[in-house]
Chain A
Amino acid sequence: MKKDIILAGVGGQGILTIATIIGDAATAAGLHLKQAEVHGMSQRGGDVQSNLRLSTEPIYSDLIRQGAADLIISMEPMEALRYVPYLSAEGWIVSSSHPFKNIPNYPDEEALMNELSAMPHVATLPIEEVAKEHSLPKSANMVLLGMSARYMEILTPEQLRASIARVFASKGDKVVADNLKAFDLGLNEQ
């Protein structure tokens, strides 16, 4: 089995943490993995993405082909749309519905959400609000990961939960518990 995943967002939103957790879970599961990241200038508030490729077979390219991604996971709705040429016909988009406007010419919000909702396989959630409602303001990215877990297939939610516990272990039990709670909120939402 093979899963090509594009993680998208704005520099500083925490997509590399999502990538780290999926990467850790994949390694623990003995899967092959390639994970291309963006470092450098774009991390200063620009658009950032990570190409994550998981497979039971060896992987060659670090980059995903156009029309081949199984999943786009995005911390921001416009950033989700940026990568649709990479999405396969049956691929899913899992995205935050909360726009991050740090540019003067951000598109009309209604038109943007309409275009996103018109995609055949899409799940959105105001992840920041959900996280805040449950007093987990720093764990919006884990709500998104929880939502995505239902479409990941190559990794089970339990494998991802175990990875969250490992990755956040050094930050203490409270941080681990908060992030697991946020993950479960996303997983069980909708």
Chain B
Amino acid sequence: MKLLLGDEAVALGAVHAGISGVYAYPGTPSTEITEYIQAHAPEVRSRWCTNEKTAMEAALGMSYAGKRALVCMKHVGMNVAADAFVNSAITGVNGGLVVLAADDPSMHSSQNEQDSRFYGKFAMIPILEPSSQQEAYDMMPYAYALSEELKLPVLMRVVTRLAHSRAEIAVREPLAQNALNPDNERTHWVLLPANARRQYASLVEKQSQLLASSEESPYNGSKCKTQGARLGVIACGIAYNYVMENDPQQLGVSVLKVSQYPLPESTIKEFAAQCDALLIAEDGQPMVEEQVKSLLGAGYVLKGRLTGDLPRMGELTPDSVGQALGVVVEPAYTCAQNVMPRPPALCQGCGHRDVYDALNKVAAEYADARIFGDIGCYTLGALPPFRAIDSCVDMGASITMAKGAADAGVHPAIAVIGDSTFTHSGMTGLLDAVNDKSRITVVISDNLTTAMTGGQDSAGTNKFEAICLGLGVEPEHVRVVVPLPKNMEEITHIIREEIEYDGVSVIIPRRECMQTLKRKLRQNKTK
């Protein structure tokens, strides 16, 4: 038995299923999967990728070559990888390919709570949704076998609460990796329209096999049969735990567990016929609820997130599910009076603090300065005491939104982006700005790491000046500074100069992240 995080159970399950490579960009709550493989499976290729799209494509390449590959990302990473992801269902796979999407209901560390199961349905591939850490581990060899049998990628969806919770895991004997065996069938892989039409027809034809697999899946089925139950619950993924925590047997409720999609329609119809009403418990958006509604027709009584029996948004809890099942909870103690919210903040001594101090100083000298932010620790510059940024939307959007706003006449238009976010999705936008001679000032706040997710390697470290020059930023407008309070005068002076330049400027404040610095000092001390 091993005590593992859900993410680590996914990682070990994949390693024991014989993967030859994991491809990923860090993103909460998926980061620990790749970190675990990096630390424990040197035989598996595991270096971080520049973004989720490059990760998805490299994993597809490994699958093309006949080996098993895992690609991991947070839910919004699926948007970045979507082009490659959806088309990997058209090419199909050779070696098994599992795409792991870690969703974040309640947005603990994210800008939305989109439900990745929709992507699986959209791409028309099987989806697995483990209910527990053990199931996450057990499902991996099953997922790879399914992928190789159907010749399709398989999407596995987990949520924060599973990814970041530990439980004991029983482990199996590892499987050997596949031998090198590149696919010779070019018509599968060259998606010219004539080939693509054939491949898509084959994908459509496979749907009955996908459905049959769901109907027979060991992960779907009746778990709690209660004689004469009037209410049935369809419990999807982790929601199964919250249902079982409420002791359905005692409540006189029947339970159908669903952890593999497409939805097993016959199983659901059969289950519905034995009950008078169904509660759909699913973490995320009401995908199953909508499908079951059209499956059973308007006459059947359904309860779920759409009907208000469960909250429309946010993660499920044993309490919210209990309430939907009619369990009355009366806490012994009400909320305390003397409690205030404690939001996160930039670390003391963090270089981003000096960057925002400088930007705020200079921005105050202009009537309508706008600062476009991005995704990372420095998003915390939106909160007091800085209140420095006007937007934060998606990876890389700082540069492109500043450009669009400058095109519209905003001046000064300043972008603040981290080093890792810049190489993830900022470089292409910078090229647009250079080609258009946009009047923007880009601040690449370089702390030499991917800090927000815990200090992973950053793809562009030591390359930023070269990248900017290569994209065509003028050498005299690529400025490097050290963000420290003692350099404030120099930094503000440079920001003023570059704001006044009628074109693209890049300022690179560079100082190591306090967290990675502290970690290094600690490690040196132990040595």
Contacts and interface: CB of A to CB of B under 8 A. Distances in A.
B334 interface: yes
Nearest to A39: B164
Interface stretch (A104-112, A125-133, A180-188): A104-112
A34 B3 CA distance: 9
Contacts of A63: 161, 242, 317-318
B282 interface: no
Nearest to B343: A46
Interface string A36-50: 111111111111000
B339 A62 contact: no
A107 B384 contact: no
Contact of A42 (B3, B322, B344): B344
A78 B338 contact: yes
A45 B380 CA distance: 11
B109 interface: yes
A86 B318 CA distance: 12
Contacts of A51: 165
Interface in B229-260: 238, 240-242, 244-245
Contact of B333 (A27, A34, A79, A84): A84
Interface string A79-112: 1011011111101000000000011111110011
B37 interface: no
Contacts of B31: 39
Interface string B105-139: 00011000000000000000000000000000000
Nearest to A103: B342
B467 interface: no
Interface stretch (B324-332, B483-491, B499-507): B324-332
A37 B337 CA distance: 25
A40 B342 contact: no
A60 B5 CA distance: 15
Contacts of B331: 66-67, 85-87
Contacts of B337: 107, 111, 115
B217 interface: no
A85 B334 contact: yes
A40 B29 contact: yes
B368 interface: no
A166 interface: no
A41 B378 CA distance: 11
Nearest to B6: A62
A91 B332 CA distance: 10
Contacts of A33: 3, 166-168
Interface string B160-198: 011011111000000000000000000000000000000
Contacts of A10: 342
Report the interface size class on chain A: 35 or more
Contacts of B346: 44
Interface in A14-38: 23-24, 27, 32-38
A27 B28 CA distance: 26
Q: Counting chain A CB atoms within 10 Å of each CB, which of B32, B242, B344 scores highest? A: B344
B318 A81 contact: no
A65 interface: yes
A60 B167 CA distance: 10
B452 interface: yes
B330 A65 contact: no
A81 B168 contact: no
A35 B332 contact: no
B28 A40 contact: yes
A106 to B, nearest CB: 7
Contacts of B161: 36, 62-63
A85 B335 contact: yes
Contacts of A107: 337-340
Contact of A61 (B245, B335, B342): B245
A36 B3 contact: no
A11 interface: yes
B340 A105 contact: yes
A111 B340 CA distance: 13
A44 B377 contact: yes
22 contacts: A27-B1, A35-B165, A36-B161, A36-B164, A39-B28, A39-B164, A41-B452, A46-B342, A47-B342, A59-B167, A60-B244, A61-B318, A62-B167, A63-B242, A67-B332, A87-B332, A87-B333, A106-B340, A107-B338, A107-B339, A108-B338, A172-B526
Interface of B: 1, 3, 5, 28-29, 31-32, 108-109, 161-162, 164-168, 238, 240-242, 244-245, 317-319, 322, 329-347, 377, 380, 384, 452-454, 526
Given A27-B168, A36-B164, A66-B319, 12 more contacts: A34-B165, A36-B165, A39-B28, A41-B108, A46-B343, A46-B344, A47-B341, A63-B242, A88-B332, A104-B384, A108-B338, A172-B526
Interface of A: 10-11, 23-24, 27, 32-47, 51, 59-67, 78-79, 81-82, 84-89, 91, 102-108, 111-112, 115, 119, 171-172
